[in-house]
Structure 1
Amino acid sequence: MALKVIAKALIKGKGKADGGKYKRIFFEQQVLCRLSHLLLPRLQGVLATENVVAYAIDYYPGGNLHSLRKRQLEKMFSNDIIR
């Protein structure tokens, strides 16, 4: 399991700048709840306290797709990597 923790202080607010953060976090939670695929992490649970929101998700070692893309020579995935 992996635990993704987000400080509520970073997402509270009604302005355009921080309102987008709230929408992204809420969208991520919705997507993780709906997806059921062997290659994608599943949402195991959500914990909210006064200060943080945390998601328990399946752990996949090796980083994320953004990190992997940045390591590619042309900063994009080749057909071999995609396969």
Structure 2
Amino acid sequence: MDAELIDSNCFFALKILDNELLCLKKKATRAQTEREILQLLDHPFLPTLFSHFTTDKFSCLVIEYCPSGDLHVLRQKQSNKRFSEQASQVLCC
């Protein structure tokens, strides 16, 4: 989900994770690891984590908005679920 800081024209991506669903699918540890990695690393190929918060029902990550969309979804559409060398060069430039 994309979000805008009110009256700023600054956009963010808001990743909302259902805590109950994470537990049912045994992915709570994976979600926590994702947050920890984004907190620790500052890399041009990873979105910046600006903030995170948790409610009783949801865990939310406020991250850098990437207008090209979700890289994982794009990768799933590739043959063999991999980017070709040529596609990788386009993504990086």
Q: Tell whether the 8 Å contact from 2:47 to 2:66 is kept in structure 1 after alignment.
A: yes
Shift of 1:51: 1.3
| Alpha-carbon spacing, 1:75–1:29, altered in 2? closer, same or farther (3 Å) | closer
> Which 5+ residue runs of structure 1 have no aligned equivalent?
none
| Larger strand fraction of residues | 2
Q: What's the C-alpha RMSD, in Å, of the aligned pairs?
A: 1.8
Shift of 1:73: 4.3
Identity %: 33
| Counterpart for residue 36 of structure 1 | 42
* 1:5 pairs with 2:16: yes
Letter in 1 for 2:67: P
Letter in 2 for 1:54: C
| Counterpart for residue 50 of structure 1 | 56
CA distance in 2, matches of 1:46, 1:77: 30
| Alpha-carbon spacing, 1:70–1:25, altered in 2? closer, same or farther (3 Å) | closer
Q: Tell whether the 8 Å contact from 2:19 to 2:28 is kept in structure 1 after alignment.
A: no
Compute the TM-score of the two structures, normalised by the length of structure 2: 0.71
Q: Which residues in structure 2 correspond to 1:56-75 (within 5 Å)?
A: 56-75=62-81
